[in-house]
Amino acid sequence: MSSPRLHLAHSGQPSQASAQTGCSNEFRVIQGGRRRRRSDAEVMKADLAILWQRFVQNVFGYGPGARTDTAIEFGCTLQTACNWHDGVVGPMGHAVAHASQAFPDEYDAVFRPDRQRRAA
């Protein structure tokens, strides 16, 4: 008995580029194949995902309930929490504001490492 084989058929259509990228690149291709330097905002957006990943893992850990706890704390979907823990995307403004208020020491440790928290 032979093993089953996978047959792929090409549709003739070009594949769609993914909107998500796994890393921040200094340059990106724009229309016409030209390359341009990424804007500061684009670089910051990519860096935010990595910093946010570090933050949520510092606060909620790596255990089996960490992603669920993150979703509950921030009122987001489990998929969003998983994306944060995996460093796929960063948060929106309301989550950052909540994090800075609810977890000030952990927030400062990741986002403001040079700032010392004063005892209240």
In this predicted model, what pLDDT tens digit does every residue of 11-42 receive, in sequence order? 555 545 444 444 445 555 555 666 666 666 66
Q: What pLDDT sits at residue 3?
A: 57
Half-sphere exposure of 62 (CA within 13 A, CB side): 2
Does residue 28 belong to any structural domain of this protein?
Answer: no
Give the contacts of 66 (CB within 8 A, at least 6 positions apart): 56, 57, 60, 85
Report how far residue 90's alpha carbon sits from residue 111's, in angstroms, rounded to the nearest whole number.
13
Domain that holds residue 93: 40-111
Q: For residue 32, give the H/E element and its range.
A: none
Does residue 101 belong to any structural domain of this protein?
Answer: yes
Does residue 64 belong to any structural domain of this protein?
Answer: yes
Report how far residue 120's alpha carbon sits from residue 76's, in angstroms, rounded to the nearest whole number.
30
Does residue 33 belong to any structural domain of this protein?
Answer: no
Give the contacts of 104 (CB within 8 A, at least 6 positions apart): 117
Does residue 118 belong to any structural domain of this protein?
Answer: no
What value does the CA radius of gyration of the chain take, rounded to a whole number of Å? 20
- DSSP H helices in the chain: 40-60, 66-74, 78-86, 93-102, 104-111
As averages over each run of 10 residues, the pLDDT of the chain (120 residues) reads 54 50 50 64 79 96 94 96 94 94 94 67
Does residue 77 belong to any structural domain of this protein?
Answer: yes
Total structural domains within the chain: 1
